[in-house]
Structure 1
Amino acid sequence: METSGQGPVQTVQTASSPATTPAAFEKLVRSEFTPRTTYLNSASTGLLPGRAVRAMHEATLSVAEGRPADMFADVEAARAAFARLVGVAPSRVAAGASVAVYSGLVAASLPAGAEVLTAEGDFSSTVNPFHMRADLKVRTVPLERIAESVRPGTALVAVSAAQSADGRIADLPALRAATRAHGARLYLDASQATGWLDLVEHIADVDFLSSVAFKWLTCPRGVAFFVVPDGPEDPDAPGAFGGVLALLAGWVAGERPWDSCYGPVTELARSARRFDESPSLFAYAGARHSLAVIEELGVAAIRAHDLALADRFRTGLAARGHEPVAAPGSPIVSVPGLGVRQAELSAAGIEVSDRAGQLRAAFHLYNTEADVDRLLEALGDS
């Protein structure tokens, strides 16, 4: 908790060098993660690294003992780490707790009558805020057709980078080409991608990006980020930050938060911090350390590890007569008709999800080939 009375500290960390060898990767993972199950459910909730658990314990203990730690410094460290992971300046990143909140801010920024294009079956927090505005025209198409469905008059495309239900990945280059051709904007929910997909190579193609951090980024629940376009010299000019208004601004959204505690905020932050939600400080106390683990391992190494396991699972499924949903290049594998096995598998110590009748397995940095093989053995032949 900030105790100095001077507001959140604007610190910026330098990125850690990623683990350079498989042995170094494995050593770091095993030192931080201690699952007691065959945990293949990171698309629901990622496991917490030991250093994050210890930091949260110390933070809660500091409050219990009447010596609250400066957890606002943790918020700024987490903001800076996320900015590095997606390849933007920290000034473009807002820190909050919910994708739905940031989807709502984007929805509120659109003029009446604007057309929003979404993908069928996308996650509710991504798309529902647009449906809550009766004066918007929301059009929904299959994910595979979303780029070709952008047309003159489309104001915004709102889509997940990877689909929660089955891991299918949006064709981001095609989407950017389509939105540019028709003057539309792109809002990306990267919740199922940050941590394993290199978003740095795609961030220039995105106008707005949101992501929770409790999945592939291995953070505690209560942490989410929102990326907006660069602000102009005058942050209050019309159209600044892509036209998003700080409708939920509280005291932390002030340029000088500790001078913004009472009455209307007289000066909003000149950066994306104007879109901050009042942070869940204990969660951020852990999040800065979780994000440090992701940086130390390196997204490229995590991606290679995750996809190798997912491919091993797909190969094993085919050998047993099961056909997963086609989602090449994704660590999420969903198998139609097998969702009913979820409770049985959980009882056997194998954690997966049941999503609309599909068994969903999600392979992440702490998983091993033995985990894949145990799930395959438990599923058996078709």
Structure 2
Amino acid sequence: MTDGGVRETSPVASHRDAGERLGGAVGDADRGVLDARREAFAVPAEIAYFNTASLSPQLHGVRVAGDAALERRARPWSISSGDWFADVERLRALFGGLVGADAEGVALVPATSYGFAVAARNVALRAGERVVVLADEYPSGIYTWRAATRAVGARIVTVRRETGQTWTEAILEVLDERVGVVSVPNVHWTDGALIDLTAVSARAHEIGARLVIDGSQSIGVMPFDVAALRPDFVVTVGYKWLLGPFGVGYLYVGEQHREGEPIEQNWIVRDGSQDFARLVDYRDEYQPGARRFDVGQRTKFELLPMAIAALEQLHAWQVPRIAAALSELTARIAARAGDLGLDPLPAARRGPHMLGVWLPESVRTGIVAALAEANCFASVRGESLRIAPHLHNTDADVERLVTALAAATPR
């Protein structure tokens, strides 16, 4: 189903094809690592939680790290000057490893809006240029580009799909030499509809446009490689598919922008800031790489250990294997939803981890409450019920979801 109530018409890809396309099928060795991951998450047995795209369930390991961080913070006399930097650099490297970057390209930000603000300040948008965005996209980027285009006399072009058209096809149609910035996600946040970033990146570079990617609904659960995509900026939050806490987000900055202008001036990103005794020897020089774009108070003694624990777990599970496992799970849910006469987004047109199920308005308005009555939790975004599982979800969860859907959507 597309935005505006238009349903997709492409055939449904096989479950195996979807798995191979998005990271390979889950083999027997993988199953030993990924099966029965429920115990890693703080989700009670009677809860079927399918809303990771809104807020991730908490890993027990993240909670343990948070408790230990609070204990350390309760003893400020035990915190050394080196501790202001150690966790920051560990986290920077861990995130870089998830997207194919080294630590030099990663800045720590508090929210997508902050990352978009950095991007808007440094893409050198000019009067008359166009900024391409998607219809019904998440608001943070839209508001940023509205302000940026107003400031210089540029304009926003909002991409909408025609009947049977993919997002990728619709985006490529509008990319010409008038476009200065292409600002797109990997999947649409409302229903998981897939955007082929490889094709979009190739065209953006061909016309000389800057590429800004919102990875909030894909990084950590879909393979992502900045070396292949060559984006100017990539921003993502940490509390969804990266399984971490609020207030810790990430910004990848292309090498061509790392001498750019940050949106705030704070002391800790300056060259020599490790020497606390000389902080009043004010310096104009920044620390190397993308560190100049870090938010002030980036250290966050209470939160960074939680974010580190989350990213370490993702590295252990391995993103391609997570993607393949969730691709199989969403394929099963889609098949069951189809048996109920519902309209799930076809496998060939969605990410591995999110399933949009189009619902008529008469059902849509009450579906979330009806599911919650059955201890089953998902969300409605746009015209779709958005089902967003993770490795905590079990066959029993799927049965609970299907039963609740059957009761709430009579044929």
Residue of structure 1 equivalent to 2:159? 141
Counterparts of 1:1-382 in structure 2, within 5 Å, are 20-26=29-35, 29-36=37-44, 37-67=47-77, 69=79, 70=83, 72-109=85-122, 110-113=124-127, 114-133=129-148, 134=150, 135=152, 136-142=154-160, 143-144=167-168, 145-200=170-225, 203-230=228-255, 240-241=257-258, 244-258=260-274, 261-262=279-280, 265-278=283-296, 279=298, 280-326=300-346, 327-337=349-359, 338-339=363-364, 340-380=366-406, 381-382=410-411
Given that residues 253 and 273 in structure 1 are in contact (C-alpha distance below 8 angstroms), is that contact kept between their aligned partners in structure 2?
yes
Query: Secondary structure of the residue that 1:272 maps to in structure 2?
Result: helix
CA spacing shift, 1:210–1:363, aligned 2, 3 Å: same
Residue of structure 1 equivalent to 2:20? none
TM-score by length of 1: 0.86
Residue of structure 1 equivalent to 2:14? none
Instruction: Tell me by how many angstroms 1:51 deviates.
Output: 1.5
- CA distance, structure 2, for counterparts of residue 139 and residue 351 of structure 1: 35
- CA distance, structure 1, for counterparts of residue 382 and residue 322 of structure 2: 28
Given that residues 126 and 159 in structure 1 are in contact (C-alpha distance below 8 angstroms), is that contact kept between their aligned partners in structure 2?
no
Query: Secondary structure of the residue that 2:54 maps to in structure 1?
Result: coil
Query: Secondary structure of the residue that 2:118 maps to in structure 1?
Result: helix
- CA distance, structure 1, for counterparts of residue 145 and residue 260 of structure 2: 14
Instruction: Tell me by how many angstroms 1:272 deviates.
Output: 0.4
CA spacing shift, 1:372–1:203, aligned 2, 3 Å: farther
Instruction: Tell me by how many angstroms 1:77 deviates.
Output: 1.3
Amino acid at match of 1:79: R
Question: Greater CA deviation, 325-334 or 260-269?
Answer: 260-269
- CA distance, structure 2, for counterparts of residue 343 and residue 73 of structure 1: 44
Identity over aligned residues, as a percent? 27
Query: Secondary structure of the residue that 1:210 maps to in structure 2?
Result: strand
- CA distance, structure 1, for counterparts of residue 31 and residue 295 of structure 2: 38
Given that residues 103 and 127 in structure 1 are in contact (C-alpha distance below 8 angstroms), is that contact kept between their aligned partners in structure 2?
no
Q: Which runs of 5+ in 2 are unaligned?
A: 1-27, 161-166
Higher helix share goes to which structure? Answer: 2
- CA distance, structure 1, for counterparts of residue 210 and residue 280 of structure 2: 36
Amino acid at match of 1:122: E
Instruction: Tell me by how many angstroms 1:67 deviates.
Output: 4.2
Residue of structure 1 equivalent to 2:19? none
- CA distance, structure 2, for counterparts of residue 329 and residue 130 of structure 1: 26
Superposed CA deviations along residues 184-234 of structure 1, whole A, max 9, x for unmatched, are 111101110011110027743322111111111101111111111126xxx
- CA distance, structure 2, for counterparts of residue 264 and residue 111 of structure 1: 31
Query: Secondary structure of the residue that 1:354 maps to in structure 2?
Result: strand
Bigger relative contact order, structure 1 or 2 (CA pairs below 8 A, ≥6 apart)? 2
CA spacing shift, 1:21–1:356, aligned 2, 3 Å: closer
Q: Aligned-pair RMSD on alpha carbons?
A: 2.2
Query: Secondary structure of the residue that 2:330 maps to in structure 1?
Result: helix
CA spacing shift, 1:207–1:312, aligned 2, 3 Å: same
Count residues in correspondence. Answer: 354
CA spacing shift, 1:262–1:139, aligned 2, 3 Å: farther
- CA distance, structure 1, for counterparts of residue 235 and residue 172 of structure 2: 20
- CA distance, structure 2, for counterparts of residue 357 and residue 67 of structure 1: 53
